[in-house]
C-alpha cells in the first residue's frame, strides 16, 4: 500500500492554527508516522500556489461553522473542485473534522468527501491506511469502513461518534510549533489539555454534549507532559486547555506545580465560578494571569435554572471578590441573551448582577468586563429544537445591555447578531446548506457574502431560525449517533427547559 501525501487545510490564518490543539495533534500524528504532509492556511497576503503540490488527501479542520465558507475559498485557491461530486482521480480526498461537523456534518456533505464524527486518535491509523488504496473510489470505500467516518456519497447509514477512551494513553503533541515572530493567541506557551468533555450538562452547550463522557488526564501524566512540553518547546508558560478546568481533581495540583515548583506563567480557561477558591485564584494570579473568565450567562435565576447552569448570584459575586482580592485585575463575564422565553425582567436581573459584580470588583480596585453573545440553538443539545430570537430583537436586547452596562463603567463587547444568524443557519442546516456554503465562499465570505449568497439561492433564513417540533428527529441525528447525547435524553432535557421557563 502506498504512503499518502497529506495536506492539512486550516481555513483561518496561520496564527489561529497555532492556537488550535487539534492542529498540533494532527501534525504530530502525521510526523510521528513519517507521513509527508503539506500545510495550507487562509493567509491574509495573496496566495502563492507554488508552495503547494497536490496531496492524496486534505484534512480540513473545522471547529466553527463560520469557517466553512473559508474552506470553500481555500479549495478554490488550491484549484480543488469545491463540490465533492466534481472531484476526479487526481484530486485529493477532502476529509473534515472538528466539533461543528461532528455535531452536524450535513452542511458540508456536498463539499467534503468524508467527515470524521468524533476524535482522531482512535482511528488515525485506519484513516491513513484507507488513503493508501490506489484509486479514489477504493479510498472512499475504505474510509467508509473506518469507525466514525461518514462518507456522504456512499449513503446515509448512521455513524457512531468515536472518541479516545483514556487520555493518559492517548498520544499527545508535546512538541508544538511556536515560531518566533508570530504571536499565537495565548502567547508563546505550551498548550496542555487536562480534560476532554464536560459533565455539567448546560442545555445550550454543544461542546458539553458532543465531547461526552468527560475524561480527565491524571496528575502524573499532566505533570510529565508539562515538564517535557515547556522544556522541548523552550517556553516559560503553560496554557491549560479544558472546558471546565477545576472539574479535573488534579487541576489544582497541576496549577501549583506549574506556578510554585516550576515558576511558569499560566493561562487558565473560563472557569465554573463555583469551583474558584482563594487558593486557586492566588495561584492563577501568581502565574501572571490578569483576567479571570467566568460564564454565568444570565443574572436571572429562572433562566439559569432552565439552562441548567444555576450557581446563585451570591456565588457569582463571591467569585468576583475572590478573584480581585487574589490580585487578578479584572473578571470577564460571559453572558447570553435571547434564550426562548427570556423576558425584560430577566434582562434587568442580568444588569443587576453585572452592576453588583462591578461594585464588588471596584471596591477592591478591579473591574468587570462583559462579553454578550446571542443564543444560538446548536445541534446535539437539548435546545436544538428551540427557536432563535429574530435579528431585530437580538439587536435590541444587546444594545439595551450595552447601554445600561456601559453607564456602569463596564467594558462590553458583543458578538454581532448578524454573524449569529449566519452561524445558526449553517449549524442547523441539512445537505442543502452545502450549496449556500459554496455560494457564500465564492462571494468572498463575511456578512456581505452570506447575504448575497442567501439572496441568490432564495434561502429563507427565517426557516432555519424557527423552532422545531420536539417530536421531530433533526436530520443530523439520522447521520451521526452520539451515544452520550441520545435523542430521547435531549428531548426530556428540552422539556425540562420549557417547564422551568414556565
Ligand atoms: S457551558 Fe461550560 S460548564 Fe456548561 S456544559 Fe458547557 S463547558 Fe460544561
Q: Cα(146) to centroid of ligand 1, in Å? A: 30
361 shares its domain with 502: yes
188 shares its domain with 148: no
CA distances from 341 to 377, 381, 422, 494, 497 (A): 14, 17, 22, 13, 10
In a domain, 347, yes or no: yes
236 shares its domain with 94: no
Domain boundary among 160, 193, 226: 160
Query: What gap in Å lies between CA 147 and CA 133, rounded to an integer?
Result: 17
In a domain, 448, yes or no: no
pLDDT at 502 (0 to 100): 87
305 shares its domain with 397: yes
Residue for grid cell 444594545: 399
The sign of the dihedral angle between the CA atoms of 64, 383, 400, 368 is negative
CATH code of the domain containing 144: 3.40.50
* 277: helix, strand or coil: coil
Range with the poorest average pLDDT among 27-36, 206-215, 410-419: 27-36
Domain boundary among 104, 132, 160: 160
State the pLDDT confidence band at 46, using cuts at 50, 70 and 90: very low
pLDDT at 470 (0 to 100): 96
Q: Cα(199) to centroid of ligand 1, in Å? A: 8
Query: What gap in Å lies between CA 19 and CA 471, rounded to an integer?
Result: 40
- Residue 395, Cβ neighbours under 10 Å: how many? 16
| Strand locations in 351-401 (E) | 367-374
Q: Which atom of ligand 1 is nearest to the CA of 243?
A: 7
For residue 363, how far is the Cα from the chain centroid? 35
Query: What gap in Å lies between CA 75 and CA 93, rounded to an integer?
Result: 12
Output the 3-class SS for 319-352.
HHHHHHHCCCCEEEEEEEECCCCCCHHHHHHHHH
140 shares its domain with 172: no
pLDDT at 361 (0 to 100): 97
In a domain, 455, yes or no: no
Is the pLDDT score of 48 beyond 60? Answer: no
Is the pLDDT score of 325 beyond 80? Answer: yes
- Cβ neighbourhood burial of 484 (10 Å; 0-12, 13-18, 19+): middle
201 shares its domain with 343: no
Ligand 1 lined by 202 (C-beta under 6 Å): yes
More confident residue, 52 or 98: 98
Domain boundary among 138, 160, 182: 160
33: left (phi over 0), alpha (psi -120 to 50) or beta: alpha
**What Rg do the C-alpha atoms of the chain give, in angstroms?**
23
155 shares its domain with 231: no
In a domain, 462, yes or no: no
pLDDT at 182 (0 to 100): 77
* 104: helix, strand or coil: coil
Per the CB < 8 A criterion, the answer to whether 151 and 137 are in contact is no
145 shares its domain with 172: no
Pairing of strands 149-150, 114-116: antiparallel
Ligand 1 lined by 243 (C-beta under 6 Å): yes
Write out the three cell numbers for 223: 505533570
Write out the three cell numbers for 10: 486550516
pLDDT at 2 (0 to 100): 65
218 shares its domain with 262: yes
Q: Cα(351) to centroid of ligand 1, in Å? A: 22
Of 493, 498, 404, 457, which is closest to residue 200 (Cα–Cα)? 493
Query: What gap in Å lies between CA 455 and CA 153, rounded to an integer?
Result: 28
Q: Which atom of ligand 1 is nearest to the CA of 270?
A: 2
* 135: helix, strand or coil: coil
pLDDT at 15 (0 to 100): 85
Ligand 1 lined by 198 (C-beta under 6 Å): yes
370 shares its domain with 494: yes
Is the pLDDT score of 348 beyond 50? Answer: yes
Query: What gap in Å lies between CA 484 and CA 404, rounded to an integer?
Result: 40
Arithmetic mean of pLDDT, 101-130: 97
State the pLDDT confidence band at 389, using cuts at 50, 70 and 90: very high
Query: What gap in Å lies between CA 315 and CA 336, rounded to an integer?
Result: 18
401 shares its domain with 417: yes
pLDDT digit string (tens) for 137-147? 999 999 999 99
Q: Which atom of ligand 1 is nearest to the CA of 209?
A: 5
Query: What gap in Å lies between CA 293 and CA 252, rounded to an integer?
Result: 17
CATH code of the domain containing 175: 3.30.750
| Strand locations in 377-452 (E) | 411-414
In a domain, 459, yes or no: no
Number of domains in the chain: 3
What percent of the chain is modeled with pLDDT above 70? 97
Tally DSSP H helices, then E strands, for the chain: 19, 17
Arithmetic mean of pLDDT, 36-61: 74
pLDDT digit string (tens) for 224-253? 999 999 999 999 999 999 999 999 999 999
| Residues spanned by the domain of 33 | 6-160
Ligand 1 lined by 272 (C-beta under 6 Å): yes
Residue for grid cell 492542529: 23
Is the pLDDT score of 49 beyond 60? Answer: no
Is the pLDDT score of 51 beyond 60? Answer: no
389 shares its domain with 346: yes
| DSSP H/E element including 230 | helix 219-233
In a domain, 456, yes or no: no
Ligand 1 lined by 200 (C-beta under 6 Å): yes
Ligand 1 lined by 207 (C-beta under 6 Å): yes
Ligand 1 lined by 296 (C-beta under 6 Å): no
Ligand 1 lined by 493 (C-beta under 6 Å): no
Which of 244, 295, 373, 493, when mutated, tests ligand 1's pocket best, judged by the most ligand atoms within 8 Å of its CB?
244
In a domain, 34, yes or no: yes
Ligand 1 atom 4 nearest Cα: 202
Is the pLDDT score of 109 beyond 90? Answer: yes
pLDDT at 45 (0 to 100): 53
The sign of the dihedral angle between the CA atoms of 164, 166, 167, 173 is negative
Amino acid at each position: 500500500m502506498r504512503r499518502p501525501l497529506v495536506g492539512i487545510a486550516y481555513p483561518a490564518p496561520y496564527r489561529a492554527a497555532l492556537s488550535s490543539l487539534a492542529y498540533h495533534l494532527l501534525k504530530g500524528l502525521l510526523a510521528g508516522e513519517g507521513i509527508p504532509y503539506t500545510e495550507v492556511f487562509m493567509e491574509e497576503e495573496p496566495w502563492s500556489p507554488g508552495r503547494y503540490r497536490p496531496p492524496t488527501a486534505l484534512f480540513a479542520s473545522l471547529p466553527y461553522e463560520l469557517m466553512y465558507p473559508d474552506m470553500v475559498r481555500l479549495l478554490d485557491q488550491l484549484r480543488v473542485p469545491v463540490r465533492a461530486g466534481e472531484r476526479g482521480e487526481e484530486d485529493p480526498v477532502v476529509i473534515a473534522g472538528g466539533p461543528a461537523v461532528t455535531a452536524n456534518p450535513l452542511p458540508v456533505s456536498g463539499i467534503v468527501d468524508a467527515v470524521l464524527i468524533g476524535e482522531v486518535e482512535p482511528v488515525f491509523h485506519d484513516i491513513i491506511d484507507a488513503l493508501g488504496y490506489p484509486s479514489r473510489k477504493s479510498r472512499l470505500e475504505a474510509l467508509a469502513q473506518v469507525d466514525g467516518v461518514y462518507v456522504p456519497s456512499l449513503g446515509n447509514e448512521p455513524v457512531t461518534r468515536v472518541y479516545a477512551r483514556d487520555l493518559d494513553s492517548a498520544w499527545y503533541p508535546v512538541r508544538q510549533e511556536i515560531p518566533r515572530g508570530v504571536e499565537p493567541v495565548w502567547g508563546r506557551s505550551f498548550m496542555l489539555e487536562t480534560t476532554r468533555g464536560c459533565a455539567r450538562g448546560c442545555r445550550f452547550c454543544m461542546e458539553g454534549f458532543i465531547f461526552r463522557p468527560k475524561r480527565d488526564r491524571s496528575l502524573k501524566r499532566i505533570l510529565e507532559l508539562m515538564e517535557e512540553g515547556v522544556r522541548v518547546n523552550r517556553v516559560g508558560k503553560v496554557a491549560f486547555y479544558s472546558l471546565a478546568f477545576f472539574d479535573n481533581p488534579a487541576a489544582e495540583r497541576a496549577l501549583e506545580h506549574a506556578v510554585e515548583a516550576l515558576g511558569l506563567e499560566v493561562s487558565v480557561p473560563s472557569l465554573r465560578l463555583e469551583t474558584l477558591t482563594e487558593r486557586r485564584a492566588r495561584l492563577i494570579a501568581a502565574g501572571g494571569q490578569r483576567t479571570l473568565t467566568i460564564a454565568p450567562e444570565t443574572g436571572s435565576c429562572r433562566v439559569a435554572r432552565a439552562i441548567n447552569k444555576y450557581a446563585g448570584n451570591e456565588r457569582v459575586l463571591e467569585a468576583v471578590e475572590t478573584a480581585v482580592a487574589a490580585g487578578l485585575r479584572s473578571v470577564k463575564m460571559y453572558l447570553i441573551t435571547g434564550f426562548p422565553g427570556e423576558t425584560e425582567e430577566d434582562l434587568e436581573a442580568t444588569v443587576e448582577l453585572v452592576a453588583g459584580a462591578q461594585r464588588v470588583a471596584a471596591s477592591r480596585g478591579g473591574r468587570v468586563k462583559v462579553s454578550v453573545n446571542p443564543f444560538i440553538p446548536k445541534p446535539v443539545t437539548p435546545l436544538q429544537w428551540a427557536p432563535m430570537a429574530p435579528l431585530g430583537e437580538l439587536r435590541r436586547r444587546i444594545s439595551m445591555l450595552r447601554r445600561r452596562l456601559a453607564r456602569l463603567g463596564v467594558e462590553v463587547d458583543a458578538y454581532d447578531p448578524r454573524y449569529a444568524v449566519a452561524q445558526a443557519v449553517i449549524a442547523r442546516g441539512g445537505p442543502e446548506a452545502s450549496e449556500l456554503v459554496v455560494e457564500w465562499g465564492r462571494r468572498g465570505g463575511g456578512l456581505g457574502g452570506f447575504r448575497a449568497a442567501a439572496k441568490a439561492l432564495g434561502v429563507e433564513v427565517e426557516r432555519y431560525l424557527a423552532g422545531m417540533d420536539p417530536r421531530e428527529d433533526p436530520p443530523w441525528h439520522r447521520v451521526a449517533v452520539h451515544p452520550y447525547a441520545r435523542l430521547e435524553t435531549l428531548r426530556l432535557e428540552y422539556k425540562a427547559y420549557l417547564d422551568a421557563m414556565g
